[in-house]
Every structure is written in C-alpha cells, then in structure tokens.
Structure 1
Amino acid sequence: MNTIHLSEEDPTAPESVLLMAELSTALEAITGDSGKASFDVEDVRGPMACFVVARNDDGTALGCGAFRPIEPGVAEIKRMYARHGTSGVGSAVLRFLEDEALALGYQALWLETRLVNRRAMDFYEARGYTRIANYGKYIGNPLAVCFEKQL
C-alpha cells in the first residue's frame, strides 16, 4: 500500500498548477464554474497561509489543498482536490490543513462549495464540517453553500 506524503509546496510550481487545472476542469463539469475566479495564488503564500501537495511513495502528485486567512481566527479552505482513483488523499490533505491551521492559531476553518456538488458536501459533513450562513462574496448566492469546522 502506498503511503500518502504531505508537504507544503509552491502553488506556482508546475505540478501544483497542473493539479489546480485538473480541479478547475472537474468543477466546471460538476458545477458549470471552474472556481478560478474565487482563487488568487498569492492568498495561499503568506505566513498565515498554506498550500499542500499529497504525493505517493514514487513522488507522484495525487492531490492538493490550501487555506488563506479570511478574518481574525478564521482561515478559508481553497483548491481541495484529489485525483480520480486515489483513496484517502482528500482526507489526508484536509487533516494536514486542519493541523497546520490550528498550529498557526486559527480557531475555525470555513469553505464554500456548490449545492450541486453533493459529493463535496458529503465529504465535508463526514469530517465534522457544519453548514453556516454564506459569507463574503457568497452572500446571496443560492448556488453556494458554506461550511465551518471549529478547531
């Protein structure tokens, strides 16, 4: 069985860019929106942010995820992705992000997905995330659904 290796990496590195492009393609197919407009790579590069890549024993990139500061004590999960056919990658990436956010002093993580993306909603709910009122640019968007997890 392959081990999942997680490490903070440069979100502008070629493999990081490729993973996020795959995510955008998948989101476009599921929701009609790639999600690119809601992500700025500079947001996940600062001292209170994180971009992580998951790799197998051979070093092949399997998935990614990130968080950025959104308000005092709260970080927002961004660009969560696990390549099709992988197992446990999304959970491992999310746990890594939660641990890193806690270590940086965050008290909660927020995220947004689309109501039509049932798989993502089920994924987050199964990992302790609960629905909250839509925040920020998602306020008033009937297609969006927001979640929170207290750390």
Structure 2
Amino acid sequence: MIKILKTDSSNIDFQNLVKQLDAYLEKIDGDETAFYSQYNKIDKLKHVVVAFEDTVPVACGAIKELDPSRMEVKRMYTVIEARGKGIASQVLSELEKWASEMGYKACVLETGKRQPDAIALYEKAGYKQIPNYGQYIGVENSVCYQKSLP
C-alpha cells in the first residue's frame, strides 16, 4: 500500500531520496551535473511529497513557485525497485493537486533528454512540451513541459 506524506524539505526521508536522485543524475548527466545542481537546492522547499510503500520511502517530488501563476515541479524521483508501479504518477498528481489548492494555474518542469522514463511520465500525465524557460534556455539536454491545472 502506498502512503503519501505532504511535508517540506526538512524531512529526512526526502533528503535521503534526493541524495539517491543526485547520484543517479550524476551518472546520466556527467559533466553537466554541476550546472543542474545549482538550480536544485532543497534547503527551502516548502511543498514536498514523499511516497511510502508500507513504511519504506520510495518516491518523492516537490513544487516551488516559479511565478504568481505557476509552480515548478522539482526533485521527482522513484527508487529503482519501486519503478513501474505508478508511484511517480501518484506523487506528481499530489503535487499538482496541492498547487491547484493554493490557487496556481499551471505546473511547469524541466527534465533531461537522457531521461525517457521521466519524459514518458510527464507526457502521460498531460504535460505539453514548451520552449525552455529561465536558466534552461539554450541548454541542449533540457526539455521543458507545462500542464494547466483545474
């Protein structure tokens, strides 16, 4: 059974999952890791979701305000052993619901072209590709998405 916890970035389970995410991304992105890392600090995230399978933390994600109408989805990760079970979709859905409850009109995100599973997740969830925004403009490996919220 999957349990979803809404918390913030002080949550130790979230911090441990992000360490695993960073190690995973370092393998994928190699020399580009330092560029992305500067935009992925977690010390001040107020809206974090951690998913537990029974009592084991297996997935996480967060949102932070990009502008007054949009939240940016950050730090999405599912441990390898828990992939393919729909847990990431549950985390993403919870983040979107939270953003909507706070009055935001859309969620945006950036992911890497070398992450086909992440791209598939976001497209399946209804995200549409948009031009790269902010610090991702002109970054060859980045692909950006947006989804309108109810």
TM-score for the superposition, normalised by structure 1: 0.89
Q: How many residues align?
A: 144
Counterpart-to-counterpart distance in 2, 1:31 and 1:118 = 13
Q: 1:51 aligns with which of 39, 44, 48?
A: 48
Alignment of structure 1 residues 98-117 onto 2, 5 Å:
98-117=96-115
For 1:66, the equivalent position in structure 2 comes to 62
* Cα drift, residue 85 of structure 1: 1.9
Query: Given that residues 68 and 77 in structure 1 are in contact (C-alpha distance below 8 angstroms), is that contact kept between their aligned partners in structure 2?
Result: yes
For 1:96, the equivalent position in structure 2 comes to 94
Please give the per-residue CA displacement for 1:127-150, whole angstroms capped at 9, x wherever unaligned: 101100110100111211100011
For 2:136, the equivalent position in structure 1 comes to 138
Listed as ranges, the gaps of 5+ residues in structure 1 are none
Shift >6 Å, 4+ stretches: none
For 2:71, the equivalent position in structure 1 comes to 75
CA RMSD of aligned residues (A): 1.4
For 2:22, the equivalent position in structure 1 comes to 24
Counterpart-to-counterpart distance in 2, 1:134 and 1:4 = 33
Identical residues among aligned pairs (%): 35
For 2:39, the equivalent position in structure 1 comes to 38
Matched residue SS, 1:44 = coil
Listed as ranges, the gaps of 5+ residues in structure 2 are none
TM-score for the superposition, normalised by structure 2: 0.89
Counterpart-to-counterpart distance in 2, 1:13 and 1:51 = 9
Counterpart-to-counterpart distance in 1, 2:74 and 2:21 = 11
* Cα drift, residue 43 of structure 1: 4.1
Query: Given that residues 43 and 68 in structure 1 are in contact (C-alpha distance below 8 angstroms), is that contact kept between their aligned partners in structure 2?
Result: no
Counterpart-to-counterpart distance in 2, 1:149 and 1:43 = 24
Query: Given that residues 9 and 44 in structure 2 are in contact (C-alpha distance below 8 angstroms), is that contact kept between their aligned partners in structure 1?
Result: no
Query: Given that residues 31 and 117 in structure 1 are in contact (C-alpha distance below 8 angstroms), is that contact kept between their aligned partners in structure 2?
Result: no
Amino acid across the alignment from 1:99? K
Amino acid across the alignment from 2:38? A
